[in-house]
Amino acid sequence: MMLLLRGEFAAAERLILEMAQLRGGLVVHEDQMSMQIFTLRREQGRLARLQPMVSAFLQQHAAASVWRPGLMLVYLEIGQQEKARKEYEQLVRDFPAMPRDGRWHYSLVYLTEVCVALADAGRAPMMYQLMLPYAGRTIVLGTAIACCGSADRYLGLLAATMGRWPEAQAHFEAALAMNERIGARVPLAHTRHDYAAMLVARGEAGDRERAATLLRASLESAREIGMRALEERSAARLTELSGPSAPDDLTGREAEVLRLIAIGRSNADIALALSISLNTVATHVRNILAKTGCANRTEAAAYAMRRGLAPH
C-alpha cells in the first residue's frame, strides 16, 4: 500500500507477486491482491486489458457486485461512457443504504470519481455529504489494501462539479498540503491535475496561470512515476491551456462556451458537450457577456463571428 501511494510501482508489483506465492500460516485474500493489481494497472494506464476479465468475473459470480464500482472506472478509462453511466445509475440509487462494510470506502471513492466524470451535478450534493465526514483525513481501502490520499481531493472534485468554487478551492488546497506532507506522490499528482481543471473551469483572474503551474508539476510527477493515464491527461490540458489566447481576456473555457453559443447551443447542450454543470455554464455565459459587452446571446454569437471564434 505504501509503495503504491509513493509511486514506487515496480517495487509494489514485486511485493504483490511475492505475497501471492506465500504459503504457510499467512492467508492471502484474493480480493486484496486483485484490488492492488487494479490500482496499479489503473495508474499505469493499463486498465483496458482488465475489462474482459472483470466483465467475465461479474457474469460468473453472483456476489461480484463488489467489483461493479471498479468496472465503471474501466469503462471510463477505455472511453465507453454509456456503459459506465448504466452501471453508475444502477448503483448510485441504492448507494446511501449500502452497509458500511469493507465495500463502503472504495465504492464511495469510485462512485465519486464516476459522478464527477459524468458531470452529474444532480447527485454531486449527495455524494459530497457522504464524503464530508472524511474531510481532513486520508481514505484507506479495505484492510490497508490501498490508500487514496487526502479525502479533500474528492470533496474538491464534487464541489467543483456543483460550481461551488470557494469550497472546491479550499478542499484542493487542503488536499495538496496533506498529500505532500505524508509523501503521497500519486494522489498529489492527481490533486494538482484536478485542481488545475477546477481553476480553468472557474476562469477568474490568475486562474489560468496557476492552473498551468499545477499541470506542469502534475505532468512532471506522472512522467517520473510512470502514471501513463495521468500523463496523457495533464499533457492534453496543458496543451489546451497554452493555445492561442482569446480576445477580451476570455478564458479558454469561456472561448469554448462562446463557440457553442455561436452555433445556437443551449446551456443544457453546452453542459453536456463540455461535461460541466448547468450552473457552471450559466457562470461562463455571464462572464462572457460582461467581458465582451454583449447584451445577450445573439450579440455574443455575432461577436464570435467577428472575432473568428465561431466554428467553421
Whether 164 shows a pLDDT value over 90: the answer reads yes
CATH architecture entry for 2-13+41-180: Alpha Horseshoe (1.25)
Contact 220, 230 (CB under 8 A): no
β-pairing, 138-141 with 146-150? antiparallel
Mean pLDDT for the chain?
86
Alpha-carbon distance values, 14 to 17, 33, 147, 209, 272 (Å): 5, 12, 18, 40, 43
Residue-wise pLDDT tens digits, 208-230:
899 999 999 999 999 999 999 89
- Sign of the C-alpha dihedral computed for residues 207, 213, 214 and 216 taken in this order: positive
Q: What is the mean pLDDT of residues 15-29?
A: 65
Q: What is the mean pLDDT of residues 184-197?
A: 97
Q: Choose which CATH entry (3.30.310.50, 3.40.50.620, 1.10.10.10, 3.40.50.150) describes domain 249-306.
A: 1.10.10.10
Q: What is the mean pLDDT of residues 158-179?
A: 97
Cell for 148?
Answer: 487514496
Residue 240: per-residue pLDDT: 79
Residue 50: per-residue pLDDT: 66
Contact 158, 116 (CB under 8 A): yes
Alpha-carbon distance values, 54 to 34, 58, 66, 275 (Å): 10, 6, 11, 27
Q: Which of 2, 12, 35, 1 is nearest to 226 (CA)?
A: 12
Q: Which of 303, 207, 189 is nearest to 255 (CA)?
A: 303
Q: Determine the Cα–Cα distance for residues 203 and 217; give it in Å rounded to an integer.
A: 20
pLDDT band at 238 (very low <50, low <70, confident <90, very high): confident
Higher pLDDT among residues 239 and 102, named by residue: 239
Alpha-carbon distance values, 121 to 101, 108, 171, 173, 306 (Å): 27, 16, 18, 22, 34
Q: What contacts 24+ positions apart, CB below 8 Å, involve 165-168? A: 165/198, 165/202, 165/204, 168/198
| Residue ranges per structural domain of the chain | 2-13+41-180, 249-306
Residue 62: per-residue pLDDT: 44
